[in-house]
Structure formats: structure tokens, C-alpha cells
């Protein structure tokens, strides 16, 4: 068997740095927060978990379409609206 030369420091330097994965932001969706603030979080790569206090359709009307148009996902789960940025899927497999 032949030996091979593996330079781990060089290999580590060649690896791509992972992209910032954003934060998970907990909040309340009650109409008091400017919809553009929620959009800004999604543009920054954050995941929103918002406790819905009121009519979901009315409260999310100011940002839902914009987030969908940019490739984000919205999922109503129990009393919460989960909103993910483009490229981050909401996995619902365990709900069935």
C-alpha cells in the first residue's frame, strides 16, 4: 500500500465558508409591527415564528405575497405562522 500526502490545512482553506443561516425570530403577529419589518427579516435569512393574535389573512396581507414572490414559504401551524426565507423549506413530514 502506498502512502499519500494529505495537507489538511490547505484542504481546510479550500472549503467554502457556509453562508450565514440567519436567526429564528419569535414574535407576535397582531398588526402592530410594520409588514416591511417582517420582510426585512426574511431578506436577512431569518426564520419567523409568529404567534397569530387575530385574523391571519388580514394580519399577513401586508407581507405574505411579497415573501412568496421572493421564494419564501409561509405555513400556519396551530396558533403560529412560520415564515422561512428562500432556500429554506418548512418540513411538514412529521405532521401526518
pTM for the full predicted model: 0.78
CATH fit for domain 24-89, picks 3.30.110.150, 3.90.1150.10, 3.20.20.70, 3.30.70.2660: 3.30.110.150
Q: Tell me the three cell numbers of residue 87.
A: 432556500
Tens-digit pLDDT profile for residues 37-68: 999 999 999 999 999 999 999 999 999 999 99
The answer, yes or no, to whether residue 25 has pLDDT greater than 70, is: yes
Q: Where are the domains of the chain?
A: 24-89
Span 1-20, average pLDDT: 62
Alpha helices by DSSP H, listed for 1-96, are 8-14, 35-43, 56-60, 64-69
Amino acid at each position: 500500500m502506498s502512502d499519500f500526502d494529505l495537507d489538511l490545512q490547505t484542504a481546510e482553506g479550500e472549503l467554502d465558508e457556509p453562508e450565514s443561516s440567519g436567526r429564528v425570530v419569535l414574535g407576535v403577529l397582531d398588526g402592530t409591527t410594520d409588514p416591511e419589518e417582517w420582510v426585512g427579516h426574511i431578506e436577512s435569512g431569518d426564520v419567523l415564528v409568529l404567534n397569530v393574535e387575530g385574523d391571519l389573512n388580514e394580519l399577513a396581507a401586508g407581507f405574505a405575497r411579497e415573501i412568496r414572490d421572493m421564494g419564501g414559504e409561509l405555513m400556519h401551524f396551530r396558533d403560529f405562522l412560520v415564515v422561512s426565507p428562500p432556500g429554506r423549506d418548512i418540513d411538514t413530514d412529521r405532521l401526518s
